Structure 1
Amino acid sequence: MKGNIYLPEKEVIYRGKRFFEQFLTIDYKELDDYLLKLSENPETINMFNNMYNNTLKNN
């Protein structure tokens, strides 16, 4: 079973594009593209790899 059986999910639960269109002024696709570019950026990947390695060393 998926979700809450007491709430009609399609009418009251907003996710993804539907949430953005209803409540926000930024376009869902615009944010999705930005986050994809950020997450695939080699500099960002290196920063997270360094944080991960430092965390392993210190614990």
Structure 2
Amino acid sequence: IEAHNMQTKMLTAEANGQHSQLTLLTVHSQDHLMTAITFIDLAQELIKVYHKLANSDSK
């Protein structure tokens, strides 16, 4: 959550004309953040599917 909040602050600052220096480390960390967010979203969707499957088997 903290990383996502920092990303949002950086994007907002950029949109307001406050450009920051981008380094390879910044780009790499952005990649890791987006991968983690995607993985969490996917895991939550899979949990929903498994719950639906478990409930449909019990009927």
TM class, shorter-length: 0.3 to 0.5
TM-score, length-normalised on structure 1?
Answer: 0.36
Task: Determine which structure has the larger helix proportion and give its number.
Answer: 2
- The structure showing larger relative contact order (alpha-carbon pairs under 8 Å, at least 6 residues apart) is 2
TM-score, length-normalised on structure 2?
Answer: 0.36
